[in-house]
Structure 1
Amino acid sequence: MADMATLKKVARISKVIGFTRLCYFFNRNRKRVIAYHNVIPDKFFDDSLHLAHSMRESSFKVQLDVMRRRFKVSTDIEDVKSLTITFDDGYLNQYEIASKAMDRYNLKGYFFCVDDLISKGDPILMDRLQYWVSYVDEGTYKLEELNVTLELKNKESRKLQWNKISNLLNSGVTQEKVEEEFEKAFSFKNIKGPKAKFLKLRFAPISKSTLKTMKENGHFIGAHSAHHRRLSLMSEEKLNEDVDICKNSSGATFNTNVFAYPYGSKEDISSTVVELIEKAGFTEAFAYSNGPLKGAFQYNKYFMPRMFLADTSDKDLIDFTLSGAKHFIAFRRLLPKWS
């Protein structure tokens, strides 16, 4: 992936030669659904590993301004000429920072929440693991039973060392096992993290009473699974349990039958997952993907694509992405459709 400076240069060239405008035209009937996670005040944003999918508040506000000027921002998923804003997980910053910024423009969105986070206050386990790697004291840590040694120094080394953990998880090692080994190497409770206000915004859940307020303000609150595990890797019993928890929260916590898959790539779902989601009464489901798909597996209402904006306030780069120009250069295709 090109670095930010290079992307900005390419976006500027694309604008000057008219390519961005051309892509807006050719993608005029392609639905845009934007996926966000955390929106963090600039003064707290420390570029640590656990903020890899997060956005500075200043960037988010500029992006909102560009989106509302370019599109009708709507929660109508079927309106191909509109743009829909979505959030995953349910952390407090999505209410305190993101939804309040949207409310100033009277923009409505979807906020997909993990039941463990909302009901029990338990941060998503993957976030706990990234928190450990982000803030544990500098040093060498041996995860004996996983046969892994981590050399943790500056932020960049921590991001690189995280790849070892990511590879383990992709090979089938459970997140619970990694957490157990982290705890043995250095207890979570002894980690000296950043300021308490930052930690609350980043890791505390949106309360159910606040979710009620958000619904009253016109936002949709949807399910993002019960435990935030890769659904395709779960046993049938565990998968049924997870989907049932989400189903039973419909009408109470949730006010939409749209679902968002955790992780959300093609590999993270299966035909069994889709069947259970449909059987539970969910009418559509969002992926976390918008690249071309191979074979018979294509985008549809139970695997709807979403696109992503970089943490930037550069309007040329924002337009470069929203227009589909960035997508076309990467894949030689227009933005995906789904039926």
Structure 2
Amino acid sequence: MVGFTATRHWPFLQLVTSSRESARLSILNYHRVHPVVDPINPGEIDADGFTWQMKLIANNFNVLTVGEAAELLMKGQLPERSLTITFDDGYADNAEIALPILNKYSLKATFFIATGYLDGGRMWNYTVIESVRSFPSSTLDLSEKDLGSYSLENWEDRHNAYSAIISKIKHLPQEKRQYLVDWIASMVPGLGGTAHLMMRSDQVAELHKNGMEIGGHTVTHPILSSIPDEQAKREIAEGRARLEEITGSRVKVFAYPNGKPGQDYLPKHCDMVRQQGFTAAVSTQWGVSTPSSDRYQLHRFTPWDDSPAKFMLRLIRNYYQKR
């Protein structure tokens, strides 16, 4: 049933998204694409789910990269039902699993990569996730550091625990946050299993060779609003420089880490991105973008849906969500 409904054209979608109003751009935001469902995070998409989503998109949308879409949007030349596919952070499964599926359906995507974790690194949030996944006891007590105490009886408990911990420390200063992350990891002897979590540099180059767009996402994925301005400028510039070194091409687009306007980044950070010569940037604010939108704060949303019908309904709902 999923295979049939995912591969068909949806005339209803074409009807409700055809309009005499200004064109609207929908941008999807992915992170990982797991080979199979991850028990600690079953809401994240796996290869089967990504496959039917890409089938559906290929049959019903005009797919553009962020750079292409932003240029056409600002010129008022965006085709109807335009959609952009984006990935954040630089996980290896983007190259190993997502890329072949994108190529199968002749789709382009934009990959925003935090360069400090390439070639064997691990982002701090995944240290928390893997620590909670591997914690040997059914109770995790972090009250010594005011981070709470958690039941770990089952996968749902472990998912809720890591989500709560990440929420508590996400906006702390980087040094304080890393101290707490290291402290949590120290409770799990021999914590590992994620040496190949992030891409290698050659995988980034392979994405580029396959026609994918590579975008900046800083070096260490800091919350820009929580660090000094000069550090923010360096993060933006040095991340871009490393990607240009890997690909041999100009990096023109950027994604703000975490991406909530007014919380994770501020207007001054949009100015930094613009002044460094990027042509567009994306947030994680839901909704669509129109020709009147700020090209340095284009909207995105994450499609969590587990069926083609729900996925299409979310796309339609987002299409009519004005910001």
TM-score range, shorter chain: 0.7 to 0.9
Aligned partner letter, 2:279: T
* Unaligned 5+ runs, structure 2: 1-9, 73-77
Q: What value does the CA root-mean-square deviation take over the aligned residues?
A: 2.9
Shift of 1:167: 4.3
Deviation sequence 1:193-230 (CA, Å, 0-9, x none) = 6xxxxx56xx5322222222221211111111110111
Q: Is the 8 A contact 1:73 1:107 kept in 2?
A: yes
Partner amino acid for 1:300?
D
The answer to whether structure 1 residue 214 and structure 2 residue 210 are counterparts is: no
> How many residue pairs are counted as aligned between the two chains?
296
- In the TM superposition, residue 299 of structure 1 has moved relative to its aligned partner by 4.7
Report the counterpart of residue 10 of structure 1 in structure 2. none
State the 1:168 CA deviation.
2.2
Task: Determine whether 1:271 maps to 2:267.
Answer: yes
CA 1:234–1:73: 2 relative to 1, 3 Å: same
State the AA in 2 paired with 1:169: I
Identical residues among aligned pairs (%):
23
Partner of 1:103: 103
CA distance in structure 2 between the partners assigned to 1:112 and 1:188 by the alignment: 32
Q: Secondary structure at the match of 2:45?
A: strand
Which residue pairs with 1:262 in the alignment? 257
Q: Distance in 2 between matches of 1:167 and 1:111?
A: 25
- Partner of 2:29, secondary structure, is strand
1:67: which partner in 2?
A: 57
TM-score, normalised to structure 2, is: 0.81
SS in 2 for 1:95: helix
Offset at residue 301 of structure 1 (A): 0.8
Shift of residue 31, structure 1, vs aligned partner: 0.8
Structure 1's 265 and 187: CA in aligned 2 closer, same or farther, altered over 3 A? same
SS at match of 2:244: coil
Cross-structure match for 2:185: 183
Aligned-partner Cα distance in 2 for 1:92–1:170:
23
**1:211 touches 1:253 (CA, 8 Å); kept in 2?**
yes
Question: In structure 1, what is the equivalent of residue 169 of structure 2?
Answer: 169
Note the C-alpha offset of 1:149.
Answer: 2.3
- String of CA shifts for 1:33-63, please: whole Å, max 9, x gaps: 1111111122xx23314x65x3111111111
Report whether the alignment pairs 1:249 with 2:248.
no
Report if the CA contact (8 A) 1:264-1:288 is conserved: yes
**2:296 corresponding residue in structure 1:** 302
Q: 2:90 corresponds to which residue? A: 90
1:252-284 Cα distance to aligned partner (Å, 9 max, x none): 235431001111111111122112212222121
**1:299 to 1:129, Cα distance in 2 relative to 1, 3 A:** farther
User: How far apart in 2 are the matches of 1:259 and 1:100?
Assistant: 24
